[in-house]
């Protein structure tokens, strides 16, 4: 399987594992921990997230499609995942419904940025002869991670409280964000989809680390002249 696709699947594994910890009991968090929250507040919070995502992802997708390469898609995906990763920590800081609505709007923006880039890169670099398998594998990984996380999240929330749970959510979503950054190792392929992404993620990472440890050439060598003795 293309290493770019593996990175995307692993990134979503972490992100949806994190979100799966809180999603099933998010309404309880709102009702119990936020001042003035009602059941109507729970519904409005979901509405704000969905509307912001739905309205913004089309213009963002049109923006990324204007570039034949996948660099805009990469950067919108990275920025979107970064925003999603900070949302759980923002939940820790809020104590009113109005603040919740603001965080939900930011969450919608992050999802709107991440979704078009993810879909485009996955579609372009997936194995077109095994497209059904690739998408099914992604779906299976995401669903199983969310299923496991739902049970764990309920237990942690009941016995240790929502604040501990949200720290866990944030840790996992940040792991997903940092995994997404691994696409930078394939930046050349993303800039030209005709190039095949050869080598595994770990080989690319080891190669990048070796290059970073090499001392830079002296200025004279860069200019094409010999260094005076």
pLDDT value at 158 more than 60? yes
Q: Does pLDDT of 229 surpass 50?
A: no
Residue spans per domain, the chain: 3-214
Cβ 63 vs Cβ 195: under 8 Å: no
Question: How far is the C-alpha of 37 from the C-alpha of 31, rounded, in Å?
Answer: 5
Using one digit for the tens of pLDDT, what is the confidence trace for 70-108? 688 999 999 999 999 999 999 999 999 999 999 999 999
Of 45, 48, 46, 75, the closest CA to residue 60 belongs to 75
- For residue 169, give the nearest of 180, 145, 153, 185 by alpha carbon: 153
Mean pLDDT computed over every residue of the chain: 85
Residue 65 above 70 pLDDT?
yes
CATH of domain 3-214: 1.20.1250.20
Sign of CA dihedral 47, 52, 53, 54: positive
Of 172, 38, 168, the C-alpha closest to 92 is 168
């Amino acid at each position: 399987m293309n290493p770019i696709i593996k990175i995307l699947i692993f990134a979503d594994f972490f992100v949806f594992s994190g979100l799966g910890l809180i999603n099933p009991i998010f309404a309880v968090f709102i009702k119990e921990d936020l001042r003035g929250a009602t059941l109507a507040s729970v519904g409005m919070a979901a509405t704000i997230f969905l509307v912001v995502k739905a309205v913004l992802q089309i213009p963002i997708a049109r923006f990324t499609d204007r570039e034949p390469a996948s660099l805009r898609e990469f950067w919108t995906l990275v920025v979107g995942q970064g925003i999603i990763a900070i949302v759980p920590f923002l939940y820790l800081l809020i104590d009113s419904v109005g603040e919740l609505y603001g965080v939900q709007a930011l969450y919608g923006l992050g999802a709107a940025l991440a979704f078009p880039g993810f879909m485009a890169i996955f579609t372009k670099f997936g194995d077109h002869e095994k497209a059904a398998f690739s998408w099914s594998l992604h779906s299976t990984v995401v669903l199983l991670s969310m299923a496991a996380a739902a049970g764990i999240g309920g237990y942690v929330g009941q016995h240790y409280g929502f604040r501990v749970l949200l720290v866990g959510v944030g840790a996992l979503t940040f792991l997903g964000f940092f995994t997404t950054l691994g696409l930078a190792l394939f930046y050349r392929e993303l800039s030209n989809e005709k190039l095949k992404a050869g080598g595994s993620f770990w080989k690319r990472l080891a190669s990048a680390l070796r290059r970073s440890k090499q001392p830079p050439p002296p200025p004279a060598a860069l200019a094409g002249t010999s260094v005076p003795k």
